[in-house]
Amino acid sequence: MAQRGMAVGYQIQSSNGTHIFIDAECIFIDSVTTLYEMRMINVGLLAADPASWKTAIVNAMIAAGIEAGFPDLNSSTIHLFDYEVGDRGDEYVAQLAAVWTKDITKTNIGSVFVNVYIGANGELQGVDFKGYKEYRFVVCVNKVGTGTQTAALVDNANSANLISLDDAGAAGEHMLDSGWTVCPAWATNTINLKPMAKSTITTDDPVYRQFALYLR
């Protein structure tokens, strides 16, 4: 599951009566090479058959991913954010505020938060929350172990400031998604965030593949 694709925003462009044409904002990620690319792709959706829309978008993303150098995408590695009506009534586009895309195994992770990445300061990234009201936190992980594993983005200056996701499910490949959530009170300006993780079972060995933060 090194290569993945996500559609994070949609905008209606036109309609000819039988088809609705949309632009889908997509991100393609390879967690081994750490390559990622964002693209806007145009997709025609059959107006009379809404049940076919997801498949149409997935197939268009797979084709675009191959063109962009991500040949290993398939329907199980494509994830779609739900369509939501935006301020203009015809669109919703999320802003990708920060992303970490490297695979890393946290052997015997422990029950206290530790940095996921080994670079300086946990390979933190600055995120400007100013003007945004909601966040969406997405983590891709291969859960190895039986504990409840927690992944978080933590303020480098104050570890009490964090956003997190718990994974209490069975072992295996998971995509954790917070859904759209009101930004915490501390998230008002630029905050240096770093990925951290822990588990209720200290000997768990999760493999983290991606941390992504979206704002709107």
Count the domains in the chain. Answer: 2
What domain range includes position 36? Answer: 3-93
The domain boundary residue, chosen from 93, 126, 141:
93
Does one domain contain both 83 and 105? no
Residues 112 and 196 reside in one and the same domain: yes
CA–CA separation, 62 and 95 (whole Å): 22
Tell me the pTM. Answer: 0.71
Of 30-34, 70-74, 147-151, 203-207, which gets the smallest average pLDDT? 30-34
Nearest CA-CA partner of 28 in 54, 57, 66, 59: 66
State whether 119 and 203 are in the same domain.
yes
What is the model's pLDDT at position 91? 46
Task: Mark which of 61, 93, 125 sits at the end of a domain.
Answer: 93
Report d(CA 29, CA 77) in Å as an integer: 10
Residues 70-92 have pLDDT tens digits of 999 988 888 887 655 454 444 45
